[in-house]
Amino acid sequence: MDYKIAVIPGDGIGPEIVREACKVLDRIGERFGHRFHYTEVLMGGVSIDKTGVPLTDEALAAAKASDSVLLGAVGGDVGKSNWYKLPPNLRPEAGLLAIRKGLELFCNLRPAVLFPQLKQACPLKDEIIGGGFDFVVVRELTGGVYFGERKTVTENGVRRAVDTMPYDENEIRRIAKWAFEVAMKRGKRVTSVDKANVLDTSRLWRQVVKETAEEYPEVELCDMLVDNCAMQMVRDPKQFDVVLTENMFGDILSDEASMVTGSIGMLASASLGATKLGLYEPSHGSAPDIAGQNKANPIATILSAAMMLRYSFDLTKEADCIEAAVNSVLDAGWRTVDIMSGGYSLIGTKEMGDRIAERI
């Protein structure tokens, strides 16, 4: 089969890690008889430098015309880069919000899997980790406080800023459905995370999630307050299967979930909507501190490409093959700097990509 993939290298380590993911996809193509056609799309700081905006209409159109989108990362050093002297809607990350909105991607899946080979990199104690953990955060992506009205005003000489967090029941229901669908393919447990003791949006969230649960009698649902969830993720991450939550809570909790797995460089993500077209990207950012040094771990991006095969193209065997190749490289003791510990062999971004590709 032929597949059109819009590739967005972005900024920082983005181009390096995306290159390795495409290398692995090409190997999959050779082995399984598929052809992946790549169209490079500008987004983020690199787009600001060339066009003045983080995402042009043409770039969005190119992404829409593809079967799926593979993204590295966008953004620079927030303290140093001139991009952050621009108004917020013209900064690199605005491209990210715009493409998610433009492609109508309202669901973000972030798996948090502890690879047994990387147990030493996990900051949690052995008795907490046990036999490892494997859960997925389902985060609402296009609503809530990141998209609500905001303003900064000066009243009587005092600066005042306001952000608002709107949600309607349809937005909640469609993301809840995704969480239950994912749970049906996994451990059939959903933990819905909110702040219902304080926020009206959370009280509506809780009601609508409960109503949606009635369509999935096999799935066990429990509610958890976000502050408790932040604690439970480090106290007993094994308890989770699917964690469902709104945009900002999900942003924070999925980063915490990344850290308890030991390395942010290992974690894939998928953003999905109502169609097969998805946006696949690593959970981490553009890591400007190590950009261009062949130090970045490309595995999160390579595993994101595997998720693309699984969710957008229904290529299960091929996705399994990439995941097995990653496991095999880890078993063989190869490590990038972020997951390095004593007794293993340090390699760079390109070498990690090569070793994974040669095991496909």
Give the catalytic positions in this structure: 146, 195, 227, 251, 255
Stretch that binds ligand NAD, among 55-63, 67-75, 145-153, 307-315 (CB under 6 A): 67-75
If the CB atoms of residues 281 and 318 are measured against ligand NAD, the closer one turns out to be 281
Q: Quote the tokens at residue 145.
A: 């406080």
Tokens matching residue 14: 């983005």
Shortest reach from residue 325's CB to ligand NAD, in Å = 18
Q: Is 190 in the site for ligand NAD (CB under 6 A)?
A: no
Which range in 73-81, 143-151, 159-167, 212-220 contacts ligand NAD by CB under 6 A?
Answer: 73-81
Reduced to 3 states (helix: H, G, I; strand: E, B; else coil), residue 225 is strand
Q: Please tell me whether residue 338 binds ligand NAD under the rule CB under 6 A.
A: yes
115: left (phi over 0), alpha (psi -120 to 50) or beta: beta
Q: How far apart are CB 2 and ligand NAD at their closest, in Å?
A: 28
| Residue 75 touches ligand NAD, criterion: CB under 6 A | yes
For helices 349-358 and 299-311, what crossing angle results, to 10°? Answer: 40
Q: Interacting stretch for ligand NAD, rule CB under 6 A, among 129-137, 206-214, 293-301, 317-325?
A: 293-301
DSSP designation for 94:
H
Match 């306001």 to its residue by tokens.
Answer: 162
Q: Which is nearer to ligand NAD, 29 or 265 (CB)?
A: 265
Stated as kind and residue range, the H or E segment containing 2 is strand 2-10
Return the number of the residue (172 or 352) whose C-beta is nearest ligand NAD. Answer: 352
Strands 220-225 and 268-272: unpaired
Q: Which of 245, 261, 297, 312 binds ligand NAD (CB under 6 A)?
A: 297
Q: Does 347 bind ligand NAD (CB under 6 A)?
A: no
Q: Which stretch binds ligand NAD (CB under 6 A): 59-67, 245-253, 283-291, 352-360?
A: 283-291
**Among 163, 289, 314, 331, contact with ligand NAD (rule: CB under 6 A):** 289
- Residue 333: name the closest of 25, 120, 18, 27 by CA: 120
Cα 240 to Cα 136, 202, 212, 359: the distances in Å are: 8, 20, 19, 32
In whole angstroms, what is the distance from residue 180 CA to residue 188 CA? Answer: 8
Using the rule CB under 6 A, which residue among 284, 306, 321, 326 binds ligand NAD?
284
Annotate each residue in 236-265 with x if it binds ligand NAD (CB under 6 A) or - if it does not, as one string.
----------------------------xx
Is residue 93 within 8 A of residue 286, CB to CB? The reply is no
Shortest distance in whole angstroms from residue 261 CB to ligand NAD: 13
Residue 141 within binding range of ligand NAD, rule CB under 6 A: no
Longest C-alpha distance within the chain, in Å? 68
Give the span between the Cα atoms of 303 and 337, in whole angstroms: 18
Q: Which of 46, 63, 73, 242 binds ligand NAD (CB under 6 A)?
A: 73
Rg of the chain over Cα atoms, rounded to whole angstroms, equals 20
267 in contact with ligand NAD (CB under 6 A): no
Does position 18 interact with ligand NAD (CB under 6 A)? The reply is no
Q: What SS3 class is residue 158?
A: strand
Identify residues 86-125 at the interface with ligand NAD (CB under 6 A). Answer: 93, 96
Tell me the number of residues near ligand NAD by CB under 6 A.
Answer: 22
Distance of CA 247 to CAs 78, 137, 196, 332, 334, Å?
Answer: 22, 11, 15, 38, 35
Interface residue with ligand NAD among 142, 191, 245, 286 (CB under 6 A) is 286
> Encoding tokens for residue 272?
């999905």
Amino acid identity of residue 177, one-letter, is K
Q: Which residues bind ligand NAD (CB under 6 A)?
A: 13, 73-76, 78, 93, 96, 264-265, 281, 284-290, 296-297, 300, 338
